[in-house]
Amino acid sequence: MSYSNIGLSIVAYVIEKLSGVSYEGYIQQHIFAPLNIESASFRRTPFVSLHLAAGYLVANNNKSRVDYHHLKDRAAGALNISAQDLSKIQRMLLGFSKNNSTNILTENSIQSMSHIETTLAATVGYQLGYGKYLISEQSKNTLWLGHSGEMISYLAEMYHSPQHQIGFVVMTNTGGDSAKQGMQKIKEQLKIFTL
């Protein structure tokens, strides 16, 4: 199975049924609290509303403010989080974050998040592209694993190199093709700069 927004919604449903706790509550208890993440929410809480940057959309060289629109598939996106707290998730994926001397996720779990299984290329061993959660990219002989998120007027990217044990997080409150192109350029420059 490769990454799928619907797949993550199904996983959230299964978590709720098996644990008897809401998806948000489960993630808060088992991921956010152990990582000391305080800004994250899958809902637009009063805290999120107070700290949320205004969103903008650029189209035809015109920039306009866009109201925040929450995604209905909350497990597949809609994580409102600060760059600092998102970097804590990045550190967890790099294996730096410990909870009582135990990794929150096992190394095998993290590796399976980037494993590609369902594409034709994967059947012959090609392992770049979308995995179960992480995207695998190659840049200057370095493997980068990451994930991106997009809403109407917000973009976010986080990538790390397991080989070099380094990563980065980039966020913007502007959407549209020019913002996506700019984000791609920043991401590529950060891959070069961080090595």
Beta-ladder partners of 80: 41
Q: What percent of the chain has pLDDT over 70?
A: 93
Strands of 55-59's sheet in order across: 62-66, 55-59, 174-175
The number of domains in the chain is: 1
Q: What is the mean pLDDT of residues 1-7?
A: 67
Write down the pLDDT at residue 2. 55
- pLDDT one-digit tens code per residue, 59-110: 888 889 998 887 777 777 778 999 999 999 988 888 875 554 456 888 888 8
Listed range (51-55, 125-129, 151-155) with the worst mean pLDDT = 125-129
- pLDDT one-digit tens code per residue, 126-144: 777 777 778 889 888 899 9
Domain residues for the domain of 119 are 5-194
pTM for the predicted model, two decimal places: 0.84
Write down the pLDDT at residue 19. 96
CATH value at residue 156: 3.40.710.10
